[in-house]
């Protein structure tokens, strides 16, 4: 039988998991977010938890929350269910850490709840954005993406800052509510409520000020055609279906171009056409001159060697074959670019065959820019592959590790951002989950700015066909909204199966494609140009919160160690 204290901790832990889940997609009861943390805040405010093993109970609550929130991680492949459980178990640790850290600040350091809880929450959201490659989806602040004035402060403190505001208001409400086992102090409650209200009011005033300084649209907009097919991942990975994938995207593109030119005396084109991640199914090849192709491949491409070619020109035949194979892939994609007669940004794979790596080949996830003549303008290689999803640590040195997983091979990370000038505007790109990493987008913009190529537009290429139209699509889109605000740069998304979108520099969702259906979106993009404090100081403010939490943890560990020494019997002290 559970005692009353145990039952209370169990009930509040699981109730908090439920309310926090309900404010995220798919339920998306976003207005409830201001009350959702209350069960966990009551546990912080209580004079004592009293339960036998409260931290394990809180971890179970966190596990229930994360299993529900990221349920979509089980969809791509049966093996990803293992990752779903493992990632949820890891993320669940942050719930007892949040409550323990906040309790130390409230009960030992005598900080008000309305300060302690937001600080601890922002610190731990920042930590999970740093550790193990970073996981920022389902942030508390993400629930408020519709409240445009509120999320403007993300250009100072990123999405973590918006989460802190929501938690501060919830803490202020918590202090106003009488709770069994907690001594009610009217002055303390009013002070907390006033502080929470003041934080919200300050954020809204800042947001209105920033939006009042928003530049008015001027000049000619950059017209971007976003092509959204609906290709489930199983189909995409079927080698026989490559032609079907390309055919669907080509049909959508041609139909959209015809509609664009309808009624005009002469054919016209948008400035840029965008296909999503890896939707051109015939990847590029680069072959190192030191790589030796099998003779059967050389003969298939060039025919059998004859006469003096048999010995003297073997190396020359190898080189000719390598260049022919590379050009064959470029010719195919170039022909489509010439048909579209405008700049085309398309997602595809690239393989580099080289004896310089143990596996003999490097795989890249790329975004290729081609001009209206079919010539390659530039190629971006994804710089932040997803750990365990797109590569395994140490697998470049030990390729046999991939035989233990469903992954056929891993991605190699690119090394530098790419920006291309289109219609006198600078356009940069990233791929898939890179929009969920605030520091990655900040680094991209800063690097290009130092090269005097600050982007006027960010283009994200995504394939969310893995997730079958689930709530992952909503979480992914919300992350992009916050990235646009943080760096004050419009952002468009071309996403296979959705959700394609156009977002301005204030985080307004101007256009959105459907879920798991085909569509085309014509986005007319005006540059923003406002400066962002986030670009200047990055994660320093939330990093200070992390530092304070680290001190609290260290102090708690030293305090617990000192108690263990004092509690030892005398003979143990002497031994």
Look at residue 289 in the predicted model and tell me its pLDDT: 85
Other Cβ atoms less than 10 A from the Cβ of 562: the count is: 10
* Structural tokens at position 227: 């092509």
Query: What DSSP assignment string belongs to 149-217?
Result: HHHTTHHHHHHHHHHHHHHHHHHHHHHHS--TTS---HHHHHHHHHHHHHHHHHHHHHHHHHHHTPPPP
Q: Specify whether the CB–CB gap between 370 and 344 falls below 8 A.
A: yes
Regions of the chain with pLDDT less than 70: 1-2, 179-184, 234-239, 306-312, 394-396, 400-406, 408, 561-575
Q: H helices of 309-437, where? A: 309-312, 314-340
pTM to 2 decimal places? 0.92
Look at residue 566 in the predicted model and tell me its pLDDT: 55
Q: What is the largest CA-CA distance in the chain?
A: 100
d(CA 499, CA 255): 20
Look at residue 287 in the predicted model and tell me its pLDDT: 92
Look at residue 403 in the predicted model and tell me its pLDDT: 67
Write the pLDDT tens digit of every residue in 354-405: 988 888 889 999 999 999 999 999 999 999 998 877 777 766 677 766 666 6
Write the pLDDT tens digit of every residue in 221-247: 999 999 999 998 764 456 678 889 999
DSSP type of residue 514:
P
Look at residue 224 in the predicted model and tell me its pLDDT: 98
Look at residue 24 in the predicted model and tell me its pLDDT: 97
Q: Specify whether the CB–CB gap between 176 and 185 falls below 8 A.
A: no
Q: Specify whether the CB–CB gap between 439 and 325 falls below 8 A.
A: no
d(CA 442, CA 185): 44
Which residues neighbour 279 within 8 Å (Cβ) at sequence distance 6 or greater? 229, 231, 236, 245, 246, 249, 346, 347, 348, 463, 496
Look at residue 310 in the predicted model and tell me its pLDDT: 56
Look at residue 570 in the predicted model and tell me its pLDDT: 45
Length of the chain: 575
Look at residue 184 in the predicted model and tell me its pLDDT: 60
Bridge-based pairing of strands 361-370 and 343-353 is antiparallel
Task: Name the region of 379 (left: φ>0; alpha: ψ -120 to 50; beta: rest).
Answer: beta
């Amino acid at each position: 039988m559970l005692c009353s204290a145990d039952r209370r901790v169990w009930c509040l832990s699981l109730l908090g998991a439920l309310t926090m889940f309900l404010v995220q997609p798919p339920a998306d009861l976003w207005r409830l977010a201001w009350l959702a943390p209350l069960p966990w805040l009551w546990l912080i405010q209580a004079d004592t938890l009293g339960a036998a093993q409260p931290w394990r109970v809180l971890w179970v609550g966190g596990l229930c929350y994360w299993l529900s929130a990221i349920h979509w991680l089980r969809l791509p492949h049966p093996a990803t269910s293992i990752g779903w459980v493992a990632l949820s178990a890891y993320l669940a640790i942050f719930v007892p850490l949040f409550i323990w850290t906040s309790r130390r600040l409230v009960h030992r350091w005598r900080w008000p709840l309305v300060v302690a809880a937001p600080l601890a929450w922002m610190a731990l959201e920042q930590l999970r954005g740093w550790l193990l490659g970073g996981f920022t989806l389902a942030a508390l602040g993400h629930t408020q993406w519709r409240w445009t004035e509120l999320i403007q402060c993300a250009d100072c403190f990123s999405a973590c800052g918006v989460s802190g505001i929501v938690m501060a208001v919830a803490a202020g409400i918590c202090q106003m509510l009488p709770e069994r086992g907690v001594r009610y102090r009217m002055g303390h409650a009013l002070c907390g409520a006033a502080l929470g209200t003041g934080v919200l009011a300050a954020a809204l005033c800042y947001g209105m000020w920033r939006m009042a300084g928003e530049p008015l649209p001027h000049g000619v907009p950059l017209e971007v055609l976003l092509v959204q097919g609906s290709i489930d991942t199983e189909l995409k990975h079927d080698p026989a279906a490559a032609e079907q994938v390309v055919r669907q995207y080509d049909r959508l593109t041609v139909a959209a171009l015809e509609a664009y030119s309808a009624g005009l005396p002469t054919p016209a084109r948008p400035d840029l056409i965008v296909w999503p991640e890896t939707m051109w199914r015939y990847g590029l090849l680069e072959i190192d001159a030191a790589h030796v192709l099998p003779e059967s491949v050389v003969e298939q491409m060039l025919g059998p060697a004859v006469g003096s070619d048999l010995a003297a020109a073997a190396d020359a035949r190898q080189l000719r074959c390598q260049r022919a194979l590379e050009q064959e892939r470029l010719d195919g994609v170039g022909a489509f670019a010439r048909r579209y007669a405008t700049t085309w940004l398309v997602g595809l794979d690239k393989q580099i065959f080289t004896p310089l790596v143990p596996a003999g080949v490097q795989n890249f996830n790329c975004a290729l820019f081609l001009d209206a003549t079919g010539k390659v303008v530039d190629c971006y290689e994804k710089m932040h592959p997803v750990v365990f999803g797109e590569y395994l640590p140490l697998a470049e040195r030990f390729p046999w590790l991939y035989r233990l997983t469903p992954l056929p091979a891993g991605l190699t990370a690119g090394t530098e951002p790419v920006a291309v000038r289109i219609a006198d505007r600078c356009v940069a790109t990233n791929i898939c989950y890179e929009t969920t990493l605030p520091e990655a987008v900040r680094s991209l913009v800063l690097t290009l700015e130092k090269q005097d190529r600050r982007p006027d537009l960010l283009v994200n290429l995504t394939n969310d066909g893995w997730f079958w139209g689930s709530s992952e699509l909503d979480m992914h889109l919300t992350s992009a909204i916050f990235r646009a605000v943080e760096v004050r740069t419009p952002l468009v998304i071309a996403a296979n199966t959705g959700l394609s979108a156009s977002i301005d520099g204030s985080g307004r969702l101007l256009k959105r494609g459907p879920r798991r259906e085909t569509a085309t979106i014509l986005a007319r993009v005006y540059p923003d140009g406002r400066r962002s404090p986030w670009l200047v100081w990055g994660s320093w403010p939330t990093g200070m919160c992390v530092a304070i939490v680290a001190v609290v943890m260290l102090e708690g560990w030293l305090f617990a160690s000192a108690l263990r020494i004092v509690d030892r019997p005398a003979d143990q002290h002497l031994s």
